[in-house]
Structure 1
Amino acid sequence: MNAAETDRIHDSFARQSMMETFGATLIDVSAGLVRISAPILPGSRQQQGFGHAGLTFSIGDSAAGYAALTMLPLTSEVVTAEIKINLLAPARGERLIATGRVVKPGKRLCVVTSEVHAEADGKSTLIAILQGTMVPVPL
């Protein structure tokens, strides 16, 4: 990826107020792969003290969407057409890491996946898998 392509992802991510609310950050951007980190803050926990599934879904969806965007021309954006999540384990720990990947790029549809891991005491646990479809849209 060139600087303009990488800057596009960072600039778009910076405009997401929800990611800012969650304290999420981009930690890796490369062709077909994006990683997002978010701390499990007191305001993003569910009733039992685990990270809320909404946090897990949000960063997983964003990581997958931005992974799709890395494969598209600078004149495109993406929107999620559909995405499914399997929650595998509680979000226990200090932070979540979502890794979005492109399964099949396309001009009309991009099939994507995302894995979300929870980090606790130096250990990483897979807590969710997402799969979905992103639709390229012109700017």
Structure 2
Amino acid sequence: MPTWQASNPHFEQAVTAAVLSMPAAQHLGFGFGALAPGAAEIVQPHRQELTQHDGYFQGGVLGSLADFAAGSAAGTLLQPGWVNMTIDYTVKILAPAKGSKVVARGRVIKPGALITIAAAEVFSIESENDDEILCATALVTMRNVKIPGA
């Protein structure tokens, strides 16, 4: 995996503030695990309203978490005064996600001035001592946008 350099020394604060201020992120109620240049981890605790049959996380929730994780990873490489927005993403659900939480890990594949390509893997975890089960993977394209006035 490549080693990326963040051009914003305050990338952690910038990414968490940008993401956690979004109403969709607030609704999901996830938090950040690790953040590093080119990588982001999102932890989604189990909540009944995010599930479908028999307590499995709903597929759209997995896609949203993958999108947020990949976008956050891409955001760690942005210059100060820039944000990113999803252009498109493809999610493949590989296994049912059921457990105490799901963890989405995003990573940058190819950064660019205006477009960044990232990916994410989503893992379900039954409890703190259980193994992670890969339940989804995603490829995400982000558009980098300068904030007006920044």
Q: Is the structural similarity TM-score above 0.5?
A: yes
Q: Secondary structure at the match of 2:68?
A: helix
Distance 1:50 1:35 in 2: 21
Distance 1:18 1:80 in 2: 14
Q: Percent identity?
A: 27
Distance 1:16 1:87 in 2: 25
- Judging changes above 3 Å, is the alpha-carbon distance between structure 1 residues 132 and 14 closer, same or farther for their aligned structure 2 residues? closer
Distance 1:102 1:44 in 2: 27
Structure 2 residue identity aligned to 1:103: I
| Map of 1:89 onto structure 2 | 95
| Map of 2:58 onto structure 1 | 52
Distance 1:18 1:72 in 2: 21
Residues 13-70 of structure 1 deviation map (CA, whole Å, 9 limit, x = unaligned): 2202222222200111110000000012110001342011111111110010011111
What is the aligned counterpart of 1:33 among 20, 33, 39? 39
* Unaligned residue ranges in structure 2 (runs of 5+): 1-5
Structure 2 residue identity aligned to 1:10: T
Structure 1 residue identity aligned to 2:140: G
**TM superposition score normalised by structure 1:** 0.94
Kindly tell me the number of residue pairs found equivalent between the two proteins: 139
Structure 2 residue identity aligned to 1:11: A
* Unaligned residue ranges in structure 1 (runs of 5+): none
Distance apart, 1:3 and its partner CA: 5.2
